[in-house]
């Protein structure tokens, strides 16, 4: 499946050149523009982002399926299903089961390949609280260093993004890098984030991490 790129003024009224040749010319022109402005190719494509048309999506999916099929020697199907109608994702937590072992904290850092140190980025923090006070975030402790958990008289609450229904981070972001999807997920685009940390200040659960480059992440396995 092929799709001609949009016709520019240069080709109106003339015999249309070969589409592949025209694409190459457009690409070279874009490269020259990038070189003249001094910005990287990656940043150029970020700023020149545009949504794919349904025909382009079908073409890229077919390319991916062919590529993966050749790589793995199997028939591969790549899905493009979007969010399901009438489904809204939320966040659930059973406090009665948590013992404060922090296994989830480190599993999350490994799964998402977060920076291990300098800076250490944890998307989950476990709050230790006094049973006598009940849920009192102001008197909670995330730095508890016990020999064994659960410690008597305490209970534990892992805190991460709560996928708020009316998220303050979305309201406060000055550049629109954070938004709420229709199916309930709060999303962040790292490329749009300018690192102002307004979302951290606005978040009621104090995630304690900001988006940014992971400096000490090990290479993927």
d(CA 14, CA 22): 13
**Cα 4 to chain centroid, rounded:** 32
The CB-of-116 to another protein minimum distance in angstroms stands at: 10
Determine which residue in the list 99, 157, 164, 200 makes contact with another protein, applying CB under 8 A.
99
Say how far apart CA 53 and CA 86 lie, in whole Å: 25
24: nearest Cα among 5, 44, 48: 5
| Contact assessment for residue 199 and residue 176, using Cβ atoms and an 8 Å cutoff | no
CA 160 from chain centre, in angstroms, equals 15
Spell out the residues 6+ positions from residue 53 whose beta carbon is closer than 8 angstroms to its own.
3
| By the rule CB under 8 A, 102 interacts with another protein | yes
Stretch that binds another protein, among 96-104, 130-138, 179-187, 191-199 (CB under 8 A): 96-104
- Judged by beta carbon, residue 21 or residue 117, the one nearer another protein is 117
**Does position 44 bind another protein by CB under 8 A?**
no
The Cβ-side half-sphere exposure at 147, using a 13 Å CA radius, reads 0
Does 105 bind another protein (CB under 8 A)? Our answer is yes
Smallest distance from the beta carbon of 218 to another protein, in angstroms? 17
Q: Is 148 in the site for another protein (CB under 8 A)?
A: yes
Residue 45 tokens, joined = 């494509």
Q: Which is closer to another protein, CB of 108 or CB of 188? A: 108
What CA–CA distance (Å, rounded) separates 77 from 69? 9
> Which residue in 106, 123, 179, 192 binds another protein (CB under 8 A)?
106
Tell me how long the chain is. 221
CB 131 within 8 A of CB 108: no
By the rule CB under 8 A, 201 interacts with another protein: no
144 binds another protein (CB under 8 A): yes
- Using the minimum distance from each CB to another protein, give the nearer residue, 155 or 170: 155
Query: Does residue number 145 form part of the binding site for another protein (CB under 8 A)?
Result: yes
Q: Do 124 and 91 contact (CB within 8 A), yes or no?
A: no
Give the nearest distance from C-beta 164 to another protein in angstroms: 21
Residue 168 makes contact with another protein by CB under 8 A:
no
CB-CB contact of 177 with 192 (8 Å): yes
Judged by CB under 8 A, the residue of 2, 12, 118, 138 near another protein is: 118
Q: How far is the CB of 136 from another protein (least distance, A)?
A: 19
Please report, as ranges, the residues that interact with another protein according to CB under 8 A: 84, 87, 99-103, 105-106, 117-120, 122, 125, 142-150, 208
């Amino acid at each position: 499946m092929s799709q001609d790129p949009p016709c520019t003024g240069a080709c109106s009224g003339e015999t249309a050149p070969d589409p592949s040749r025209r694409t190459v010319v457009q690409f070279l022109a874009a490269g020259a523009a990038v070189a003249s402005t001094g910005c990287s190719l990656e940043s150029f494509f970020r700023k020149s982002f545009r949504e794919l048309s349904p025909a382009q999506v079908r073409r890229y999916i077919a390319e991916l399926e062919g590529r993966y099929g050749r790589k793995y020697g199997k028939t591969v199907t790549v899905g493009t299903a979007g969010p399901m109608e009438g489904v809204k994702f939320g966040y659930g937590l059973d406090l009665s089961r948590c013992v404060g072992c922090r296994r989830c904290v480190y599993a999350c850092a490994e799964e998402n390949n977060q920076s291990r140190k300098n800076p250490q980025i944890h998307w989950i923090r476990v709050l230790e609280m006094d049973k006598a006070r009940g849920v009192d975030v102001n008197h909670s402790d995330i730095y508890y260093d016990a020999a064994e958990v659960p410690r008597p008289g305490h209970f534990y609450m892992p805190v991460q993004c709560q996928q708020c229904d009316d998220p303050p981070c979305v309201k406060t972001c000055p550049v629109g890098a954070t938004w709420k999807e229709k199916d309930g997920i709060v999303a962040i685009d790292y490329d749009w984030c300018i690192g102002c940390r307004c979302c951290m200040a606005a978040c009621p659960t104090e995630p304690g991490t900001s988006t940014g480059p992971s400096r000490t992440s090990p290479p993927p396995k």
